[in-house]
């Protein structure tokens, strides 16, 4: 079986549904390899930007560690960008996590928390300028499906999180495994991180 990695999925009201559940489908198809934990500042329920509500497994206030930090985007980021508790938690945990990942505008939170200082990163193309304005210490890449810089994986908007997640599965378990996951999910995986027609459409 090998080691199972824990994923800490950082949720908040107004998270984007597919940012979260696209990637969790991919990781979730390998239950012996990945242990999924939904987190939020407080226990209870969080409401997505699209309406459906999810149940939190653990509060961020518990002193649990996660191998993989996962930060989605969504309209709620516009509020959380001023949440000093959350930013502090991200800054601290990013130092001890094996991998740090974001989808869509989730990278704005990582940037504001200083996690992306001196790193290459990308984000949603419709919100690109707003995200970039959160930190001038990041090497923002406008045209990319996702960006890998060492142990940090950041993706473009919404659907791009699925491609990034398969790339992370490739890094950890090899490309044969991510190919199998994509077939199980009947997903037409974009394997090229530089494929990004949306950068041009949205600018």
The yes or no reply on residue 13 touching its own copies (CB under 8 A) is no
Please list the residues that pair with 5 across neighbouring strands.
34
| Under 8 Å between Cβ of 18 and 102 | no
| Least CB distance to its own copies at residue 77 (A) | 15
Q: Of residues 76-135, which lie at the interface with its own copies (CB under 8 A)?
A: 124-126
Q: Number of H helices and number of E strands within the chain? A: 8, 11
Q: Given candidates 5, 12, 15, 18, which one binds its own copies under the rule CB under 8 A?
A: 18
CA distance 193 to 130: 22
Q: Given candidates 8, 14, 22, 72, which one binds its own copies under the rule CB under 8 A?
A: 22
Q: Given candidates 2, 52, 118, 150, which one binds its own copies under the rule CB under 8 A?
A: 52
How crowded is residue 129: how many other Cβ atoms within 10 Å of its Cβ?
Answer: 12
Residue partners of 154: CB distance under 8 A and separation at least 6: 101, 102, 106, 107, 110, 116, 121, 122, 123, 146, 147, 164
| Least CB distance to its own copies at residue 191 (A) | 12
The yes or no reply on residue 53 touching its own copies (CB under 8 A) is yes
Q: Given candidates 76, 106, 157, 193, which one binds its own copies under the rule CB under 8 A?
A: 157
Using the rule CB under 8 A, give the single segment among 48-56, 82-90, 111-119, 168-176 that binds its own copies: 48-56
Using the rule CB under 8 A, give the single segment among 83-91, 113-121, 132-140, 152-160 that binds its own copies: 152-160
| Under 8 Å between Cβ of 41 and 68 | no
Task: Considering the complex, state which of residue 39 and residue 113 has its C-beta at the smaller distance from its own copies.
Answer: 39
- Backbone conformation region of residue 182, classed left if phi is above 0, alpha if psi is from -120 to 50, else beta: alpha
Question: Residue 126's closest CA among 159, 95, 149?
Answer: 159
x/- track of binding to its own copies for residues 164-183 (CB under 8 A): -------------------x
* Structure tokens, 68: 């993989």
In the complex, which residues of this chain contact its own copies (CB under 8 A)?
Answer: 16-18, 20-22, 24-25, 27-29, 31, 36, 38, 45, 48-55, 124-126, 156-160, 162, 183-188, 190, 197-198, 201-202
């Amino acid at each position: 079986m090998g080691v199972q990695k824990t994923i800490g999925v950082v949720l908040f009201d107004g998270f984007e549904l597919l940012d979260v559940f696209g990637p969790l489908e991919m990781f979730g198809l390998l239950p012996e390899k990945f242990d999924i934990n939904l987190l939020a500042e407080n226990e209870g329920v969080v409401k997505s930007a699209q309406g459906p509500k999810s149940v939190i497994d653990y509060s961020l206030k518990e002193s649990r560690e996660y191998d993989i930090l996962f930060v989605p985007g969504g309209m709620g980021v516009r509020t959380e960008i001023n949440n000093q508790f959350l930013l502090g938690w991200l800054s601290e945990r990013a130092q001890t996590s094996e991998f740090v990942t974001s989808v869509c505008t989730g990278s704005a939170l990582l940037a504001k928390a200083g996690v992306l200082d001196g790193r290459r990163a990308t984000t949603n193309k419709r919100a690109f300028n707003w995200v970039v304005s959160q930190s001038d210490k990041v090497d923002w890449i406008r045209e990319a499906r996702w960006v890998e810089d060492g142990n940090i994986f950041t993706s473009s908007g919404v659907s791009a999180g699925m491609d990034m997640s398969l790339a992370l599965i490739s890094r950890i378990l090899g490309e044969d495994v991510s190919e199998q996951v994509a077939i199980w999910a009947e997903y037409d995986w974009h394997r090229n991180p530089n494929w990004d027609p949306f950068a041009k459409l949205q600018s």
